[in-house]
Structure 1
């Protein structure tokens, strides 16, 4: 077995040597070919005749190659996907190879341990020696194979980390402090090598190892002060290298790891000491995000996003700790961070630079002050912060036009809605909440305020037609959040009332809410699609309100459960209904759909019929026992008359305005009235009532027929006159 392995190794060495010689010869041949081609091109250029257009063309090319000097933001996306894939394609074998080598060494060490070839100290020594050897190999390869050497060196650093971890956890060769000191040394060495080799890849390896090292040597006993002192040292080193080398990725890696550790500490074991590390981290990453701003007076997209996230994480962490430990004032950190950003905003204002940086700082300051006010009035932290941050992202997208902020806004906004829904659910278990000035409703107000700012910003940014689907959807969600927030607050405070009162007040609020939106529709710039949808909802609610709420209220009044005055309050829904028909509908796009006529007619017929029935019952009945007989009498005698009158009005309206759907609806209602009369009513009436009903209905039908014939003749005469005029001309 061992002989076969030795022979295989010899064969691999021979093949590698021959392939290496072949590659070198190919490199020499390619170099000669390139030199010959360069020489031929030089001769061709010399022999070309001079073209008078050539200088102009060269001038145009130079202009195209020059960067735009007035561009405030460099169009550099925060995350470049294609270079990452290209790097992986070109170096996949190297990465796989170094991991395979580390695993192979590990398996060899394990095999040696299982066979008792080496002791525990020797095992650790081999691991450290192998890691140092791999780093040395990377050092010698760095001049000709920079990327490959960085990957090799990163593998050697990983070997050192894993060796330290195993020596501490499995063999107990070091104490925790000694193991931690070794990992710190490895991290510092790797950071130094990264800077010395000018290798961003290597420092990424180093940061991953440095941040994962505490997990490798953890014993389960949380020493957070020691941990975050170590993390702060790493972050300071990262910041120094970031300023020297302008490497963006290292800041993001450190930020993600640091935020994860901080949030874990905050939620697992809330301590006031964590606040100090939040502040330290805030300063470090804020400085990282402003490096281009201080050197070039510009803010790149990646750094703008970092500014937003740094403020977001710091506010959530510090305010959560203060709330849990009941420290005051709770607005200390939002106000302090707002002051810091305000200083930079003041600097921009003094220098009269009203560019992207000015917009970003002003947006952050306004957001932090809004958060401070929301927290002062005990609004919910997460919902309020997310809502304000979503608006900030949208504001920066508007100012910069960078799609990355639009993408983050589209991700964060649904989370705001979900968080707000969870906040509303607290009404179910809450007790003794004050009117308006309670945490749930104040949180809703913050969300509503930010959503309407979002709506205004989107309308100004909209390049597509105003009635786009996205705009209508966002508008519907915005008004929906406001509606649910108000309705939830109202229902909570009347929850002790009878169910019919709760339902009636909810319906009344809904009708007035839609009416006000449509009344100020032009100022609110709602789209036609949303306007039509709200009108359909309004008339559908009118039908439900009169059938369910109205009938229920009359029943409860007869049962002496509620006061008669409540019916008059319920009846105020007729005001928005009348205003809607007279003022709003004629100027809307409601009637572009033929079904709209039928919905309007149905709502009017049901509203008039039911309210006439309610008034009749209130006047005539004294108790619940009388209601059934009186209601049957109303249906038999008065309802056909009401329907006949309404049908005549609709027919007249349809013929006068040339809105044929009104006339169709009127004739349909008239047909239903006649069918009801002959198939149902006549069998239920006494003789006197039957005679009265037939006479009144007959008169109404004759008058309707007369009006119809009259209008028909008028229309015919107008058509004849028009034809004569056309012939004369």
Structure 2
């Protein structure tokens, strides 16, 4: 059996380390000589290129770059601006591809040191203090190697140094959590010191990669040394110090990535504190974070006089995360007024807007500041009326993103809008769920409907903003716009319908159903009336018309019949039926005014749907009036209905069939004629194969006589109309011959 010997292990490790150093030094010399030769060749090529350029005529030389002033962005320039501001991830993938071995190597080295220390611990070679010392020493050695390599291998050295910093963090965490070598305050002080050293090294080495390592370590350090008892003021004092250091370096080095990393970590910590332990102290840190990250977002605005897409997005997120946190705390602790911080943030943006306006700059920054200021004021008034926080803020924020997209033409804001809008819908659905258990809600002035009103208002604004889309010609964009329009109309419809149903929920079921149907018809009718403000697509318009006529049929068959039955039973008043009859106004107006201006009749089925709607409506309403006039109790209803079906319905259908045939001949719309003949055939089949076997002799005679007279008159009318048409055609042919 082989036994492990510590002395032999130490000797083997030292020998291996010496071999690695010798090999690395030899290889490094060869690589350095090769780099020097390549540098000389490049220098010679550069000098030759300069000499060639001097000999070129001026017309072939590129003009000096003109200073670009901020102005309103023309549609023709949008594509170029999008390319300039496009978020391109290829450098990230290039970095990972080129430095994958280095990243994997440093990660493996840190793990190897950890496993070696663990092995030594398992064998009781070293004590707890020695274990921590080995970790710190290993981190220092790795950082020293990075420092040694920084001149010739900047990226590789940054990765190496980041690994050393990670070793410091992990060693401190293990020494505090597992070995209890020092107190939490001491561990926290060590992590702060490590963070400051790493930030200093990042600035000294001019390495953005290293400061990213430092930020991750700095923000994760509190989690590493956490004991489960949150000291939030101390924690956020530490985070604020990191954020201020980040801000200074961002201004000095123009490193945008560190600001976003700090913002994400800070927001997560703040929201966790806000939910876990709502404390008014958190408001101060929200304000401090707002100031720091607002200054970060405005860096390019003050230095280069322009706002990049990432800056605009940061401005939007900073304002609305600040609102969510501060308003939530005020509501939970019942402080007033809840609108104080939305108004303060709006004033700050208003000052920047005034600055742009006074300097007569009406470009992207002017639009952004005006949009944010108006959105914050809107959110303030909405929140003052006790609307739901998340739903309200997200709805307004989505509209703001859409507004910025429309003003700048930058696709990133359209993408974020399409990401955020579904979240608005989900939040609104959760808000609507409160109707189920709610009691004694006021009409309109209740939290659920007021929140729905904000969503409805912002959704309507969204529809208006999308009306003039600069990318309408792209079929993919049209698909998303149509889908968005359908969802938007559905949100507005649901919000209003649920409020109505809630306040009439104690009424009989037929009243609720009838009211819902009437509202649905008027809602679609309103959209059709305003179909160009905002504009809806022709396909969507035709779909709305189809839905409208299907609902008309459903309304007269179910709602109308149900109301008649309940009126006869004396469960509801007669005036309810007159309220139900209000559906005739949108129906008649749609047939007379809207259909001729639409593309409804481009589909042959549309004629049949309209004919079915008219026949069903006239037949059912005649039946309803007949029952109302002659039914004294519910027992008579069934008999009256059967008598009406046998005697009067064939007559009504024959008249309607004649009208449809006449309409088809007059307008040359053959589908009307086909529908009329189909209805006439159904009437005759029904009469001969069903009705005659149910009638008494007198009724049978009356039905046959009346139907026969109607058919004869219709035949005479058709023959006369046919002769008129033939005569008109002949006269036209004679005139054409005379001209020739």
TM-score range, shorter chain: over 0.9
* 1:626–1:443 CA distance, 2 compared to 1 (3 A): same
Give the number of equivalent residue pairs: 721
Which residue of the other structure, out of 411, 414, 419, is the alignment partner of 1:406? 414
In structure 2, relative to structure 1, the CA distance for the partners of 1:250 and 1:5 (3 Å cut) is closer
Quick one: which of 648, 669, 672 aligns to 1:662? 672
Unaligned runs of 5+ in 1: none
Is 1:396 equivalent to 2:404 in the alignment? yes
1:517 and 2:527 matched: yes
Cα contact 1:211–1:257 (8 A) shared by 2: yes
Equivalent in the alignment of 2:723: 713
TM-score, normalised to structure 2's length?
0.93
With 181-190 and 130-139 compared, the bigger mean Cα shift is at 130-139
- Paired residues of 2:158 and 2:210 also in contact (CA < 8 A): yes
Paired with 1:72 and 1:287, the residues of 2 have a C-alpha distance of 24
Q: CA contact under 8 A between 2:71 and 2:362: conserved in structure 1?
A: no
2:315 paired residue number: 307
Find 2:566's aligned residue among 556, 572, 588: 556
- After TM superposition, the structure 1 = structure 2 runs for residues 467-486 of structure 1, keeping only pairs within 5 Å, are 468-486=478-496
Q: Which residue of 2 aligns with 1:355?
A: 363
Q: Which moved more, 1:271-280 or 1:513-522?
A: 513-522
2:305 paired residue among 272, 297, 300: 297
Q: 1:539 aligns with which of 528, 534, 549?
A: 549
Q: CA deviation at 1:126?
A: 1.4
Correspondence 1:56 to 2:66 = no
- CA offset at residue 44 of structure 1? 7.3
3-state SS of the aligned residue for 1:412? helix
Change (3 A) 1:15 1:128: closer
Residue of 593, 604, 608 corresponding to 1:583 = 593
Identify the residue that residue 333 of structure 1 maps to in structure 2: 341
Q: Displacement, 1:29?
A: 4.6
- Cα shift at 1:397: 1.0
Q: What's the TM-score once normalised by structure 1's chain length? A: 0.95
Q: What's the C-alpha RMSD, in Å, of the aligned pairs? A: 2.2
**Cα pair distance change 1:588/1:42, threshold 3 Å:** closer
In structure 2, which of residues 652, 663, 676 is the aligned counterpart of residue 642 of structure 1? Answer: 652
C-alpha contact (below 8 Å) 2:159/2:209 kept by paired residues:
yes
Is it true that 1:377 corresponds to 2:385 in the alignment? yes
- For 1:593, the equivalent position in structure 2 comes to 603
SS in 2 for 1:649: helix
| Residue 281 in structure 1 maps to residue 289 in structure 2 | yes
Question: More displaced, 138-147 or 439-448?
Answer: 138-147
Indicate conservation of the 8 Å contact 1:72/1:298, yes or no: no
Label 1:265 to 1:251 Cα distance change in 2 as closer, same or farther (>3 A): same
| C-alpha distance 113-683 of structure 1, shift in aligned 2 (>3 A) | same
Matched, 1:81 2:89: yes
SS of 1:270's equivalent? coil
CA shift at 1:470, angstroms? Answer: 3.4
Verify the 8 A CA contact 2:70 2:306 in the aligned structure 1.
no
What is the match of residue 677 of structure 1? 687
Alignment check: 8 A CA contact 2:70 2:361 kept: no
Contact 1:472–1:529, Cα closer than 8 Å, also in 2: no
Q: Does 1:121 align with 2:129?
A: yes
1:423 corresponds to 2:431? yes
Secondary structure of the 2:319 match is helix
Q: Could you tell me how far 1:128 is from its partner in structure 2?
A: 1.0
Residue 171 in structure 1 maps to residue 174 in structure 2: no
The answer on whether the counterparts of 1:682 and 1:690 sit within 8 Å (CA) in structure 2 is: yes
* Change over 3 Å in CA distance of 1:272–1:41 after alignment to 2: closer
Alignment partners' CA distance in 2, 1:652 and 1:453: 46
2-structure distance, mates of 1:346, 1:35: 52
The CA distance in 1 between the partners of 2:535 and 2:45, in whole Å, is: 66
Q: Is the 8 A contact 1:466 1:527 kept in 2?
A: no
* 3-state DSSP of counterpart to 1:179: helix
- Tell me how far 1:472 sits from its aligned partner: 3.0
Change in 2 beyond 3 A, CA 1:201/1:523: closer
Residue 215 of structure 1: aligned partner: 223
CA contact (8 A) 1:127 1:163 kept: yes
Match of 2:443, SS? coil
Secondary structure of residue in 2 paired with 1:62 = coil
CA distance in 2 between counterparts of 1:488 and 1:25 reads 79
Gaps of 5+ in 2: 1-7, 74-80
Contact map agreement 1:651 1:664 (CA 8 A) in 2:
yes
Question: 1:85 and 1:464 mapped to 2: Cα distance?
Answer: 33
CA deviations 1:474-514 (Å, max 9, x no partner) are: 32222222211111111100000000000001111111122
Is the CA contact 1:78–1:302 (under 8 Å) kept in the aligned structure 2?
no
Alpha-carbon distance change, 574 to 327 in structure 1, aligned in 2, over 3 angstroms:
same
CA distance in structure 1 between the partners assigned to 2:43 and 2:221 by the alignment:
51
Q: Compute the displacement of 1:388 (Å).
A: 0.4
Q: Does 1:194 align with 2:197?
A: no
Q: 1:152 aligns with which of 142, 157, 160?
A: 160
Gap change, CA 1:72 and 1:618, over 3 Å in 2 = closer
Aligned partners of 1:39, 1:373: CA distance in 2, in Å?
66
**Aligned equivalent of 1:619, options 592, 609, 629:** 629
Q: Which moved more, 1:136-145 or 1:647-656?
A: 136-145
The whole-number CA distance in structure 2 between the counterparts of 1:493 and 1:33 is 85
Q: Does 1:227 align with 2:235?
A: yes
- Specify which of 697, 709, 716 is matched with residue 699 of structure 1: 709
2:280 aligned with 1:260, yes or no?
no
Deviation at 1:540, TM superposition (A): 0.3
Tell me the equivalent position of 1:629: 639
Query: How far apart are the structure 2 equivalents of 1:537 and 1:643?
Result: 24
